[in-house]
A and B are shown apart, each in its own frame.
Chain A
Amino acid sequence: MAELSGKYLVGVYDDDDTVLHAVPRLRKAGVKIKEVYSPFPIHGLDEALGHPRTRIGIAAFMFGVTGCCTALTMMIWMMGIDWPMIVGGKDPISIPNYIPITFELTVLFTAFGMVITFFISNGLGPGTHFHPRFDVRSTDNKFVMAIDLGRNSMSIEDISRALKDSGAEEVNIKQF
């Protein structure tokens, strides 16, 4: 996660419904919202903020295909080519017997590939000793909206008034 710099206006909300309804109102009023931080997922919030739909599913599918191909290639090569082996009168390359391991490796590759992609795309990782920069209560019971003042042309007074009107119970200034 990139380091933040500059001056931010932080709106603290008391309720998930209030913040969900505040987002379209503020965007309509011309306020550019950086991000909303919440203690639990709020459905529809990412669309309201205008975030593009995540493409992590495509990555997951690719990892799955990789796992499937890896498993089949491995077994066909080992059992059929490198050291052909007939066990129980079965053909050295007998695809039906390979299905369980192919399935398991497909799942394994998809799960791990997807989770690693998730960590990278969110900038999460061990050693990222990050604490919520705008308001520490956003992992407990508050819903925190961050507005980058450098990217907004409106004055601080106007934005904070808009935040208050949309239901924010506190408006703070945070300088990095």
Chain B
Amino acid sequence: MHVTSPVREPLIQGGKTYADVTEDICRHVEGSPTKEWKIAFGISLIVLAYGSVCLAWTWWEGLGVWGLNKTVGWAWDITNFVWWVGIGHAGTLISAILLLFRQKWRTSINRAAEAMTIFAVICAASFILMHMGRPWLAYWALPLPNAFGSLWVNFNSPLVWDVFAISTYFSVSLVFWYIGLIPDLATIRDRATSKVSRFMYGTFAMGWDGSAKTWARYEYISLILAGLSTPLVLSVHTIVSMDFATSVIPGWHTTIFPPYFVAGAIFSGFAMVQNLMLITRVVYRLEDYITLEHIETMNKVITLTGSVVGVAYITEFFIAWYSGVEYEYYAFFNRMTGPYWWAYWAMMTCNVISPQLFWSRKLRRSITFTFFISVVVNIGMWFERFVIIVTSLHRDYLPSSWTMFSPTRYDIGDYIFSFGLFFTLFLLFSKYLPVVNMAEVKAVIRSTSANLPQKIAGVAKVRQRGTAEPVYNKDKE
């Protein structure tokens, strides 16, 4: 029998029945787009269009349109790439690691967080293509027999590892997300009234029927996929950090990078999930599903990972001094007091100090404050990558080649492109797919809901097609 703990706060508020869950989540998928959605989508498309023009010019003219110079060869492109990949870590963390830890609160947010992951990885990949300058030659990164000789890619290089890591991560996350979507697509298919939506959702639901045998296999593969995704999500940012750590540049050549990058990725990813969920829950009236409890729990994760990041910053700085390597020491001294001091201190303030404010229960349960801090954290994490990349490069071994980096309008425009792309994709997702995993929420509702209704199944509000004639009906008695 199900038991509800009297100590914990219920996960789903408002005494929802199963039919209520279906109704609340399907409503915005089935209805026509709201005015707010149309306005937001229009703005995203305009942003995307502006970004696309900048990107087209970048590719047409070449990377000379960026502010790169012979000293600073990586700047906003790689900063943005690492930033987006980092954001793309929260979704799989929520759905995989929290599944292994049996954290039931994940069920309300995992769908949207995984979608965010996929879109963020797409944005990250777009920076790799931009950074190549000649995106039509992107296939050179794959181990294909080379047309100009039988030379293969160098498997000792972390950049090649990255190709495998990011593409595996993207495709496995996509599969994980899609498997979770199938039961919900079937629910929408069975409620659909128009032929077009029945066909579309029916195609993607792949004939799901929800039999006990299918569910048993579904749960089994979800568990294995979670087990696989857990080391995968940790490996991706580890390998991204190795792009830097295996080099010989002071400030990059540090063994602390893999755990430090992974913690930073989870930190920024959760901040982005907070941003998106705080908006989504208001727009789609999901306050009963994404409650203050969810927000508070995510804030705790932000505080934990923010503290790990803070300790990593301090350790890195201490080791730079303690190692006695003067180049290493100079790289860090230059970060703090050199011409880019403002970027370093912006990073320290946003990433180390701001998440510590969540030790106050009042602040971590305040929606406005949470939203503000999530934005601050993502700004801070962008500066972290900027500091690591540009500040380590701009003063190299030869003082005569010391220089500064200033972004051009194409650096900025290409960054804007990724925002346009991200929000366009997210808005399309939030309109045409269920933003909350209905099947999983229904499965946890009994053990975690407040004021359980008498009839937990509820009454379906949509007239259903094709039920057979009853030989016996309880309601008629």
- A40 to B204 CA separation, bound complex (whole angstroms): 18
Chain A interface residues (CB < 8 Å from chain B): 1, 10, 14-17, 35-42, 45-46, 49, 51, 54, 56-57, 60, 74-75, 78-79, 82-83, 85, 87-88, 90, 94, 97-98, 100-101, 103-105, 107-108, 110-112, 114-115, 118-119, 121-133, 135-142, 156, 160, 163-164, 168-174
- A101 to B162 CA separation, bound complex (whole angstroms): 9
How far, in Å, is A134 (CB) from chain B's closest CB? 8
0 or 1 for each of B436-470: is its CB under 8 Å from A? (1 = yes):
00111011001000000001111110001111111
CB of B150 within 8 A of CB of A140, answer no
CB of A172 within 8 A of CB of B471, answer yes
- A100 to B232 CA separation, bound complex (whole angstroms): 10
CB of A100 within 8 A of CB of B187, answer no
**A129: nearest chain-B partner, CB-CB:** B202
3 tightest A-B CB contacts, nearest first: A128-B207, A130-B207, A141-B18
Known contacts A35-B212, A37-B209: does B471 contact A131 (CB below 8 Å)? Answer: no
- A36 to B215 CA separation, bound complex (whole angstroms): 10
CB of A135 within 8 A of CB of B467, answer yes
Per a CB cutoff under 8 Å, which of A51, A126, A170 touches B203? A126
- A15 to B183 CA separation, bound complex (whole angstroms): 19
- A16 to B444 CA separation, bound complex (whole angstroms): 12
Most buried by A among B19, B191, B215, B446: B215
**A163: nearest chain-B partner, CB-CB:** B472
Per a CB cutoff under 8 Å, which of B164, B168, B191, B455 touches A140? B191
- New contact pairs (17) apart from A17-B2, A51-B213, A171-B470, CB-CB < 8 Å: A15-B456, A37-B209, A78-B155, A79-B154, A90-B156, A100-B161, A100-B239, A104-B165, A110-B228, A111-B176, A128-B206, A131-B190, A133-B209, A137-B467, A168-B474, A169-B474, A170-B473
How far, in Å, is A146 (CB) from chain B's closest CB? 9
Chain B interface residues (CB < 8 Å from chain A): 1-2, 17-19, 22, 143, 150-158, 160-161, 164-165, 168, 171-172, 175-176, 179, 182-183, 186-187, 189-191, 199, 202-204, 206-221, 224-225, 228-229, 231-232, 235, 239, 242, 438-440, 442-443, 446, 455-460, 464-475
CB of A87 within 8 A of CB of B210, answer no
Q: List residues of chain B with CB within 8 A of the CB of A100.
A: 158, 161, 164-165, 235, 239, 242
Judged by DSSP, the binding face of B is helix
- 30 examples of A-B residue contacts, CB within 8 angstroms: A17-B1, A39-B18, A46-B213, A51-B213, A74-B143, A78-B143, A85-B151, A97-B156, A103-B231, A105-B164, A107-B228, A111-B171, A118-B179, A121-B217, A124-B207, A124-B214, A126-B203, A126-B204, A127-B203, A129-B199, A131-B466, A135-B467, A137-B460, A139-B210, A140-B191, A140-B460, A140-B464, A169-B473, A169-B474, A172-B471
**A124: nearest chain-B partner, CB-CB:** B206
Q: List residues of chain B with CB within 8 A of the CB of A141.
A: 17-19, 22, 457-460
How far, in Å, is A98 (CB) from chain B's closest CB? 6
CB of A40 within 8 A of CB of B442, answer yes
Q: List residues of chain A with CB within 8 A of the CB of B161.
A: 100-101, 104
- A87 to B206 CA separation, bound complex (whole angstroms): 48
**B219: nearest chain-A partner, CB-CB:** A41
CB of B156 within 8 A of CB of A94, answer yes
Most buried by A among B153, B179, B473, B474: B474
Known contacts A39-B439, A114-B224: does B467 contact A172 (CB below 8 Å)? Answer: yes
How far, in Å, is B412 (CB) from chain A's closest CB? 33
Q: List residues of chain A with CB within 8 A of the CB of B228.
A: 107, 110-111
**B210: nearest chain-A partner, CB-CB:** A37
- A1 to B207 CA separation, bound complex (whole angstroms): 9
**B160: nearest chain-A partner, CB-CB:** A101
Q: List residues of chain B with CB within 8 A of the CB of A111.
A: 171-172, 175-176, 225, 228
CB of B209 within 8 A of CB of A87, answer no
**A39: nearest chain-B partner, CB-CB:** B442
CB of B470 within 8 A of CB of A140, answer no
Known contacts A54-B216, A118-B221: does B474 contact A170 (CB below 8 Å)? Answer: yes
CB of A83 within 8 A of CB of B221, answer no
**B187: nearest chain-A partner, CB-CB:** A139
**A128: nearest chain-B partner, CB-CB:** B207
Per a CB cutoff under 8 Å, which of A49, A74, A75, A83 touches B212? A49
Q: List residues of chain A with CB within 8 A of the CB of B187.
A: 39, 139-140
Q: List residues of chain B with CB within 8 A of the CB of A170.
A: 470, 472-474
CB of B152 within 8 A of CB of A14, answer no
Q: List residues of chain B with CB within 8 A of the CB of A124.
A: 182, 206-208, 214
**B232: nearest chain-A partner, CB-CB:** A107
Known contacts A107-B172, A131-B202, A140-B19: does B442 contact A57 (CB below 8 Å)? Answer: no
CB of A38 within 8 A of CB of B155, answer no
- A40 to B218 CA separation, bound complex (whole angstroms): 10
CB of A54 within 8 A of CB of B202, answer no
Most buried by A among B158, B208, B221: B221
Known contacts A87-B154, A127-B203, A139-B183: does B470 contact A172 (CB below 8 Å)? Answer: yes
Q: List residues of chain A with CB within 8 A of the CB of B182.
A: 124
Known contacts A36-B211, A38-B212, A130-B207: does B22 contact A104 (CB below 8 Å)? Answer: no
CB of A79 within 8 A of CB of B190, answer no
Known contacts A107-B172, A112-B171, A142-B457: does B468 contact A10 (CB below 8 Å)? Answer: yes
CB of B464 within 8 A of CB of A112, answer no
Known contacts A17-B2, A40-B443, A164-B472: does B190 contact A139 (CB below 8 Å)? Answer: yes
- A105 to B171 CA separation, bound complex (whole angstroms): 12
How far, in Å, is A11 (CB) from chain B's closest CB? 9
Per a CB cutoff under 8 Å, which of A15, A49, A79, A90 touches B152? A79
